[in-house]
């Protein structure tokens, strides 16, 4: 049992590690100074008052349907296997890393997430597109996104290969010279734009 379960917590807490504590379904809205929250696997909602959060790890919260649009300071969001999550707020413009693997109800990635460098969306079976506006994207994993190509089943394999090629081109490869890396990333984004 963690401090939140016992009601024994300091309202000035900035980091909270719940380590898989299942009784916690919500976080007290008085923890307004919280900057990092991780390990809660049974959350059903996240208070809109947690505006100072920069890192949120809520993977496996299958009853969580929304991420508050007030969490504008988030730079890292891990919501993998939040199977009821339907969207990522467009206001989370400071996100640099988004891990939404297995979010089977998620239909789109907001075009406003232009600072995103890492996107893991493997197994997001309802995802229909990855915006070409994600110009800072360096790492992309999108296997198993069945509707991502936006095409009929007969051309699925070809289109999925194109997405995977774009993803490979966007990856940071440390053995490439800087000029080659930049060109490769630009070509990957161009291909992503063409197939969207």
Residue 79 lies in a domain: yes
- Residue 153 has what pLDDT? 39
Q: How many domains does the chain have?
A: 1
Residue 178 lies in a domain: no
- Per-residue pLDDT of 88-116, as tens digits, reads 999 999 999 999 999 999 999 999 999 99
Residue 181 lies in a domain: no
Query: For the stretch 85-118, what's the b/e string if a residue is b when 16 or more beta carbons lie within 10 angstroms of its beta carbon?
Result: bebbbebbeebebbbbbbbeebebbbebbebbbb
Least confident residue range of 31-35, 44-48, 59-63, 167-171:
167-171
Residue 70 lies in a domain: yes
Q: Of 161 and 69, which is predicted with more confidence?
A: 69
49: containing domain: 1-153
Give burial (CB, 10 Å; 0-12/13-18/19+) of 122.
middle
Residue 21 lies in a domain: yes
Residue 179 lies in a domain: no
- Residue 190 has what pLDDT? 62
Biggest alpha carbon distance in the chain? 58
* pLDDT > 70 fraction of the chain, expressed in percent and rounded: 70
What is the rounded CA–CA span in Å between residue 19 and residue 38? 7
Contact 86, 104 (CB under 8 A): no
5: DSSP letter:
H
Residue 194 lies in a domain: no
| Residue 119 pLDDT greater than 50, yes or no | yes
Q: Of 22 and 74, which is predicted with more confidence?
A: 74
What is the rounded CA–CA span in Å between residue 74 and residue 65? 18
42: DSSP letter:
S
- Residue 11 has what pLDDT? 83
Residue 77 lies in a domain: yes
| pTM recorded for the entire structure | 0.76
What is the rounded CA–CA span in Å between residue 15 and residue 38? 8
SS3 (DSSP) at 16: strand
Looking up residue 134, the CATH number of its domain turns out to be 3.80.10.10
Q: What average pLDDT does range 71-80 have in this prediction? A: 97
């Amino acid at each position: 049992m963690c401090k939140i379960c016992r009601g024994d917590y300091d309202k000035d807490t900035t980091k909270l590690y719940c380590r898989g504590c299942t009784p916690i379904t919500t976080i007290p809205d008085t923890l307004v100074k919280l900057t990092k929250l991780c390990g809660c696997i049974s959350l059903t909602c996240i208070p809109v008052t947690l505006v100072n959060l920069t890192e949120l790890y809520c993977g496996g919260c299958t009853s969580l349907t929304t991420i508050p649009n007030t969490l504008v300071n988030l730079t890292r969001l891990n919501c993998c296997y939040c199977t009821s999550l339907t969207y990522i707020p467009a206001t989370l413009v400071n996100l640099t890393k988004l891990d939404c693997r297995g979010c089977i109800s998620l239909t789109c990635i907001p075009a406003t997430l232009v600072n995103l460098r890492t996107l893991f969306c493997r197994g997001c079976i309802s995802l229909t597109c990855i915006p070409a506006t994600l110009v800072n994207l360096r790492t992309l994993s999108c296997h198993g996104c069945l509707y991502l190509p936006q095409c009929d089943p007969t051309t699925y394999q070809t289109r999925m290969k194109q997405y995977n090629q774009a993803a490979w081109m966007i990856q940071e490869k440390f053995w490439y010279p800087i000029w080659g890396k930049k060109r490769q990333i630009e070509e990957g984004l161009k291909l992503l734009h063409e197939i969207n």
